[in-house]
């Protein structure tokens, strides 16, 4: 058995306040890892900055690795846990930035970076789109990363599955009122690819958007192992911050794929329309 304990975090970041958000993230890692043995902690998309930063993203974007990655890498090493989280990233050209998700190992090393491919709305004005879906071979298993709106495109998750992903991490800023859409996509991507999905969606408000959380961990037959759906802060009656934890067996991916043959029984020659640009 390849058992892995995963935690998905839903948190409210302070808009544009990177240092404050990193402190909060670091404290959450300490809290989660201090209460039980966990192998992986997943934070939402753009959790170091918030979502509606507009042109400020140019100033807030960081190199990978950079200061935000280094702070969380220290926490990863301190508690011996993998950590995935979203941030705006940049390369040498300061004005070219990406909506990125990074994966850190329990030794504090950067395992890899994913750059969001499917940009939505005003994201298109701030970020450059990524163009590939890397698979990261870790001591836990083969892990893929997606971000928010990527979930709406079944081709993205299927590409990850065909390249060997057993566990898909989704870091998201899915906003109200699209709760049903979010839940449907998370379950569908797990079902159709017979793989585990650990999805972390933020809560709280930015300027014009509000976010509903519903972070969850789903198995390869769509079974919900853990969820924060319906968790409400009694003081505000808004979706609550928190985390969901589940222990999963990645060997179930191979078993389910053998049993239901959804990967093996594909007929790619009939799917030519999938690669035709609209």
DSSP letters for 42-86? E--TTTTT-S--GGGHHHH-B-SSSHHHHHHHHHHHHHT-EEEEE
* Predicted TM-score (pTM) of this structure: 0.96
Q: What is the mean pLDDT of residues 141-170?
A: 97
Query: In this model, does residue 1 exceed pLDDT 60?
Result: no
- Which one-letter DSSP state was computed for residue 140? S
Report angle CA 30, 201, 203 to the nearest 5 degrees.
85
Query: In this model, does residue 118 exceed pLDDT 70?
Result: yes
pLDDT in tens, 60-75: 999 999 999 999 999 9
Identify the CATH number of the domain defined by range 3-275.
3.60.110.10
Q: What is the mean pLDDT of residues 80-109?
A: 94
pLDDT in tens, 231-278: 898 888 899 999 999 999 999 999 999 999 989 999 999 999 988 887
Strand-pair partners of 152:
none
How confident is the prediction for the chain on average, in pLDDT?
Answer: 95
pLDDT at 34: 93
């Amino acid at each position: 058995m390849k058992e892995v304990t995963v935690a998905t975090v839903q948190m409210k970041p302070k808009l544009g306040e990177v240092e404050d958000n990193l402190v909060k993230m670091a404290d959450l890692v300490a809290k989660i890892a201090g209460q039980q043995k966990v192998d992986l902690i997943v934070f939402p998309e753009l959790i170091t900055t918030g979502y509606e930063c507009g042109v400020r993203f140019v100033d807030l974007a960081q190199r990978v690795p950079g200061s935000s990655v280094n702070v969380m890498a220290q926490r990863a090493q301190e508690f011996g846990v993998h950590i995935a989280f979203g941030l705006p990233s940049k390369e040498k050209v300061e004005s070219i930035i990406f909506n990125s998700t990074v994966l850190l190992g329990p030794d504090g090393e950067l395992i890899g970076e994913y750059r969001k491919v499917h940009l939505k709305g005003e994201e298109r004005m701030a970020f450059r789109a990524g163009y590939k879906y890397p698979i990261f071979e870790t001591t836990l298993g083969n892990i893929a990363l997606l971000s928010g709106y990527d979930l709406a495109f079944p081709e993205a998750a299927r590409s990850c599955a065909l390249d060997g992903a057993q566990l898909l991490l989704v870091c998201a800023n899915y906003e109200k009122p699209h709760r049903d859409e979010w839940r449907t996509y998370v379950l569908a991507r797990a079902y159709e690819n017979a793989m585990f999905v650990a999805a972390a969606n933020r809560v709280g408000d930015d300027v014009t958007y509000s976010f509903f959380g519903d972070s969850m961990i789903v198995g390869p037959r769509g079974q919900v192992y853990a969820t924060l759906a319906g968790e409400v802060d009694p003081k505000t009656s808004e979706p609550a911050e928190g985390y969901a934890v589940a222990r999963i067996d990645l060997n179930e991916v191979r078993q389910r794929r053998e049993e239901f043959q959804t990967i093996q029984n594909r007929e790619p020659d009939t799917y030519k329309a999938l690669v035709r640009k609209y």
